[in-house]
A and B are shown apart, each in its own frame.
Chain A
Amino acid sequence: MSLLPVSQNKRRALIRTLLFTLGGVLLALVLAMRVWDIELHGVVIAVLIVFCILAMLEFTVFDEFSKQTHYRAWYWGSSAGAAGVALVQVLSTLDVSTGAINSFIATRLDSVDPSQAFLSGMMITLLFMVTGYVIVRGAMWLRRR
């Protein structure tokens, strides 16, 4: 027997409430780590794992319209984000942008080791894609209102 409510709407509301609550807890934990310098990495990772599981569970209770919205936003938004990353890469090889982009990157990566730079690159790509997703999803939401 499932612990979740039978109604898909109620399941969605429950999971969403839990996600918001955990999001708040995560934010509070990160702030506590920053402000009071408390060692909470283990707790943050545990909460983050539960958050990810709930986020996956949320997708299973989306109705068909929400799923389609999500697909479309992810396709267009994240594709545009990935294209943005590719554009920056191409621009950085051109002479015209060498002064701007390359010096910007060089000042930030000058003292960073390659593995750190690689991880930063991965996160920046992800950031571009998620930003694209949020913009498209927001635009779709505004248009539907």
Chain B
Amino acid sequence: MRNRLKVLRAERNWSQADLADKLDVSRQSVNAIETGKYDPSLPLAFKIAKVFGLPIEQIFSDDEVAQAAE
């Protein structure tokens, strides 16, 4: 799974800690999601989408789909 978390966060000038506070998860969780070491659950993915005000598919994409698009 790929995601644009880091880019979206940078656009808003948020630190990992800021985003972690908004999502009510640990900073380590945000870091793990950003670096692709952890795929969030659906509820957390929806929460992330809500925080950024975007649909989930604009934040997360399947590896194969992303590779095909490239």
Q: Is A68 an interface residue (CB 8 A)?
A: yes
Contact partner of A8 (CB less than 8 A), chosen from B24, B32, B41, is B24
Size bracket of the A interface = 10 to 19
> Known contacts being A64-B41, A64-B44, A68-B38, is A9 close to B24, with CB within 8 Å?
yes
For this complex, into which size category does the number of interface residues on chain B fall?
10 to 19
In the assembled complex, the CB of B29 is this many whole angstroms from the nearest CB of chain A, namely 4
A8 contact set on B, CB distance < 8 A: 24-25
A104 lies within 8 A of chain B by Cβ: no
A12 to B21, CA, bound (A): 12
* CA distance in complex: A9, B16 (Å): 14
Known: A65-B32, A144-B31, A144-B32. A9 touches B26 (CB 8 A): yes
Residues of A within 8 A of B (CB): 7-9, 12, 63-66, 68, 144
Rank and list the top 8 A-B pairs by shortest CB-CB distance, nearest first.
A65-B29, A63-B25, A8-B24, A65-B38, A63-B29, A64-B41, A65-B32, A63-B26
